[in-house]
Structure 1
Amino acid sequence: MLVKVRFFGKFRELLNKETVTLNVRENGKVKDVIYELARQTDPKILGRILNEKGEVRSEIIILVKGRNIQNFKGLETKVEENDVVYIFPIATGGG
């Protein structure tokens, strides 16, 4: 099934793209999308999205259907045909 991934911030800069369309297995989950993204683009992106425990880094937000996956099943959240997965870093500031 096809799933689109949209990037923001440092991910857009790393991959030099705004979107990628991936072919993910039926009944796929967000974690499948992330691993397929790393396989098809740049393996370094995996370590920028996931921590050493394989969890989404605290400074990263991932949305599916406009909702934060952390409010559902995290990386186990299911994706469906033509879903758009948004991956972006939390904006920080200081002064």
Structure 2
Amino acid sequence: MALEVKFYSLFRINLKTKGIEYQQESEITITELIEKLDQDFEGYFTQKLLKEDGTIARGTIILVNGKNIFHLNKLETKVSDGDIVTLFPPSAGG
């Protein structure tokens, strides 16, 4: 099994991919997953998802198996094999 990360909106456009899969033997946190994504995408996700103080940027949506991490354990939410993490960039406009 694999940990699946799906990208939406500008992430798909800018990265030219719908997502990525990682083989996980143990649980990791969303913070650790973002670090892993940064290794594969040159720091892109920390820059887009987090504020300078390391907290989640306003408007960012991160779902684990369809549940918003704000209703779970935020950046300390654990993910493992079989989970699906969905990332939406912060949005603005009107």
- TM-score w.r.t. length of structure 1: 0.86
SS in 1 for 2:55: coil
CA distance in 2, matches of 1:50, 1:2: 25
Instruction: Flag structure 2 segments of 5+ consecutive residues without an equivalent.
Output: none
- 1:26-54 per-position Cα deviation (integer Å, ceiling 9, x unaligned): 12111111110110123123210111011
After TM superposition, give the deviation of residue 93 of structure 1 in Å: 4.2
Instruction: Flag structure 1 segments of 5+ consecutive residues without an equivalent.
Output: none
- TM-score w.r.t. length of structure 2: 0.87
How many residues get paired?
Answer: 94
CA distance in 2, matches of 1:39, 1:18: 17
Judge conservation of contact 1:11–1:45 (CA < 8 Å) in 2: no
CA distance in 1, matches of 2:55, 2:90: 16
CA distance in 2, matches of 1:12, 1:64: 18
- Residue 57 (structure 2) pairs with residue 57 (structure 1): yes
TM-align CA RMSD:
1.8
What residue identity is the alignment partner of 2:44? Answer: K
